[in-house]
Structure 1
Amino acid sequence: MNGPSLPRRTLLKGVGLGALAAGTAACGSIKGSGDKAGDKIVIGFVSPQTGPLAGFASGDRFVVDRVRGTAAYTGGFAVGGKTYDVEIVVKDTQSDPSRASQVARELILRDHADIILTSSTPETTNPVATVCEAQGIPCVSTVVPWEAWYFSRQADPKNPKPFTYTTMFFFGVDQFGGCFVPMWERVSTNKTVAGMFPNDADGNAFRDAYPAILKKSGYKWVDGGAYTDGTTAFSSMISKFKSEECEIFTNAPLPPDFNTMWRQAAQQGFRPKLATVAKVLLFPADTVALGPLVKNIATDSWWGPYMPNTSSLDGESAKQLAEAYQSASGKQWLQTLGSVYSLFEIAQKAFTSVDTPRDRRAVATALQKLNYSGISGVLDFTRGPVPGVAIQQPVGVQWKEGDGRFPYEMVVVDNSLNPAVKIGADLTPTNP
């Protein structure tokens, strides 16, 4: 398998290697489910259900309950000729990387988890995966760029080594480029791109890889600077973008930071022709804070009711899952519904392919070899870009005015990476 060729930073900050190593050292000699007997498989699930990242996890409880109700879970997992009951234990990180490490240790020590599933940003997935790798517990992560998940957890990012127990699915900077650049090409601009990337795992991964992607496509890169998460004053960054006459904007910040910056940009007259954002405006709740300023901002979509995918657990379609959530909650569907659902599909696939759920190494190996089709489409963990990583192909969407039920909705405007998804509307400049 060919390794990644893009240059990376030696140390990614935010949830950097040092902090993760400290969290792992605190684990001590944890004993997990491999040391207990019984007819039950325990699945731990970790996500940021409260705090500034809570938008990512607002549908998680619904998905967990939905999965619990499938025949595959209510009937138990058939493993090695024996049926095991399945218990799902949910933990909240409170959007805190230190707490993410803590609850992962709790799942191993107190709840005797046989596998841990985790979702939503490196602030969540990386500490959890690091604890699991150190303690030999199978783990699957999602909703995190693979570069931010993989390289920031390496002792030597320049000479990375495959992980044994931890796997993930999502996509990376190349797919962001493959999603965003085709949209840029359809708007007449001077090809000057403003980049808002913080000094954290996501921001640094983008900052390292984007210049090469932009250069290859004929675009000029203007970096706004590696600011600290939680910054509230962006005037100097905005001034730089204006002076460089940036007509395209892209980013990967925490959602509250983007909301602050985008309001200040509007007040200070920075109006790029097209804004393509990552990590923010992924969910309907994010649009409320910005109101009309959200109109025609583009982003990536890795899952939605427009995806032609069905559940491997019970055959439910992506559209049916989205509509079920809206009916049950009264809220608009969100992308992480499919991602979190897929975590539990993967767990079921892995356990039912081994002889015993207590053989952690066998379960981890099954995860590494998994290739199946489910609610998130085809997920093939054998193809890379590095071992244990499955890549999704996102589509480009814009926030358009809704149909009456909701003020704004995601509409597919580019399917360059995923032609199976139908286009729903023409791409429109963010600021004509």
Structure 2
Amino acid sequence: MSKTIVGGMDRRQLLKVLGLSAAAIGGASTLTACGGLKGSAGSTSDVLKIGFVSPQTGPLASFASADNYVVKQVQQALAKGFTAGGSTRQIEIIVKDTQSNSTRATAVTKELITQDQVDIVVGSGTPDTTNPVADQCEASGVPNITTIAPWEAWFHGRSGVSGEGFKYTTLFFFGMQEFADCFTPMWKRMDVANQNVAALWPDDTDANAFRKGLTPLAEAQGFKMIDGGAFQNGASDYSSQIAKFKGENAELFTCTPIPPDFQTFWKQAAQQDYRPKLATVAKVMLFPSEAEALGKLSNNIATDIWWSPFHPYQSSLDGTTAQQLADGFAEETGNQWTQALGSVYSLFELAVEGFKQASDPKDRDDVADKLRNMNTVGMSGPLDFTKGPEPGIAVQHPVGGQWRKGTKFDWDITIVDNTPNPDVPVGGDLEATNA
């Protein structure tokens, strides 16, 4: 299922408001960012199409909970168009849902390219989304930007050649070094009996990147990773992993499962009296819905925070600050801010900047080259795709945050360690997860 978004409404909703049917205006019509209708007889050269792929439903849906709001904000910021290639341009955003399925991610990306004929594809939400989307774009010669996936899982998971990278596909996020820079300072501050770190890592692209990459980085700092053993996503019994972690007296804990699996594991761990002093988790507990689902078991679980209202960043499109974006989301939706707000917003910032920098925004090779060599600042802070670690990858530096009881909402994030990015203010002390 796909939808063309205009001011927060999909095509069917807009036509209903206008009192029109699809037949009344013709099936060839498209909706632009400025709300105009362009029939098949008119020129559409001033319209640049952005395809957006994310897991809006399924087990990874928490990664896409802010998507509709972000698309609306981008539409509003670009309501008057922008100049690219010497002409005023409008954008049309076509949204596709992967349903948290990699095979479907490939299929909907192909639809965007062959049927919708988009000029660029952006995507977000773990390697289950980013990798198949990027692979399809690379094969089709279409510019692509993705985010919220460790760069190693994205790059090596797609058989990237070191020093060469990819021609059409780019990524901004971070990798194992940045996870280590975020987690190990918190581990060192916790009073534990030993340096054993329990690791709940399934057998998938994401977790295998952690297994291979985080292990040596942690061990170089004196920690010992206790790998609970690879398991398939969707597992329902974690007794063997819990027994191993308890046997090794691993008071530090980390993981990279899909969110539903962590929920199951963490509840079973509490039932079986495995209560590590500090949990620093990845891929899970990134969004409020997950904290709400665990209730009191969420208290002081730590995770990597790459974007928040506390980050001193602002939009390159209209100057909206991170705080304003988060507040606006809460006011309009009644929901709490999520980290994906900033990341998804930046996907569109980068797409627009790529169009602006290209001599011809319709030239896919030109736009892709500009993205690979971009160095810009926006809602996600400074993003330099020229620095690497590989061509076409821009690295962010997450800080440590813990879930605690909130005031306006049930649970909120407190920044407790800013070692990797001192520009983000600390909001409270690091506390034991299971005090």
CA contact (8 A) 1:273 1:429 kept: yes
Is residue 258 from structure 1 mapped to residue 265 from structure 2 by the alignment?
Answer: no
Equivalent residue, structure 2, for 1:413: 416
Q: How far has the Cα of 1:77 moved from its partner?
A: 3.1
Q: How far has the Cα of 1:84 moved from its partner?
A: 2.2
Deviation digits for residues 235-288 of structure 1 (CA, Å, limit 9, x no counterpart): 001000011111100001100000000000000011111000000000000012
Using the TM superposition, name which of 215-224 and 317-326 deviates more: 215-224
Equivalent of residue 350 in structure 1, options 332, 354, 363? 354
Equivalent residue, structure 1, for 2:82: 77
Question: Partners of 2:312 and 2:401 in 1: how far apart?
Answer: 16
Is residue 63 from structure 1 mapped to residue 70 from structure 2 by the alignment?
Answer: yes
Displaced runs of 4 or more, over 3 A: 157-161
CA contact (8 A) 1:395 1:414 kept: yes
Equivalent of residue 186 in structure 1, options 185, 189, 212? 189
Equivalent of residue 332 in structure 1, options 332, 336, 340? 336
CA contact (8 A) 1:46 1:116 kept: yes
CA contact (8 A) 1:77 1:351 kept: no
1:161/1:308 CA distance change after superposition, 3 Å:
same
Is residue 42 from structure 1 mapped to residue 64 from structure 2 by the alignment?
Answer: no
Map 1:20-169 to 2 at 5 A. Answer: 38-70=45-77, 73-154=78-159, 161-169=164-172
Q: How far has the Cα of 1:357 moved from its partner?
A: 1.7
Q: TM-score, normalised by structure 2?
A: 0.89
Equivalent of residue 366 in structure 1, options 362, 367, 370? 370
Deviation digits for residues 351-378 of structure 1 (CA, Å, limit 9, x no counterpart): 0111212211110000011111111100
May I ask how many residue pairs the two structures share in their alignment?
392
Question: Partners of 2:134 and 2:355 in 1: how far apart?
Answer: 19
Question: Partners of 2:295 and 2:162 in 1: how far apart?
Answer: 45
Map 1:144-293 to 2 at 5 A. Answer: 144-154=149-159, 161-189=164-192, 190-293=194-297
Equivalent residue, structure 2, for 1:427: 430
Deviation digits for residues 88-134 of structure 1 (CA, Å, limit 9, x no counterpart): 11111010101100110000111110000000100011100000000
Q: Which structure 1 segments of 5+ residues have no match?
A: 1-35
CA contact (8 A) 1:107 1:113 kept: yes
Question: Partners of 1:296 and 1:283 in 2: how far apart?
Answer: 14
CA contact (8 A) 2:179 2:214 kept: no
Match for 2:133: what amino acid?
V
Question: Partners of 1:159 and 1:169 in 2: how far apart?
Answer: 17
Q: Which structure 2 segments of 5+ residues have no match?
A: 1-42
Question: Partners of 1:357 and 1:351 in 2: how far apart?
Answer: 5
Q: How far has the Cα of 1:76 moved from its partner?
A: 2.2
CA contact (8 A) 2:292 2:411 kept: no
Match for 1:255: what amino acid?
P
| Larger RCO (CA within 8 A; separation ≥ 6) | 1
CA contact (8 A) 1:151 1:160 kept: no
Match for 1:173: what amino acid?
M
Using the TM superposition, name which of 212-221 and 113-122 deviates more: 212-221
Identity of aligned residues (%): 52
CA RMSD in angstroms comes to 1.2
Q: How far has the Cα of 1:37 moved from its partner?
A: 6.8
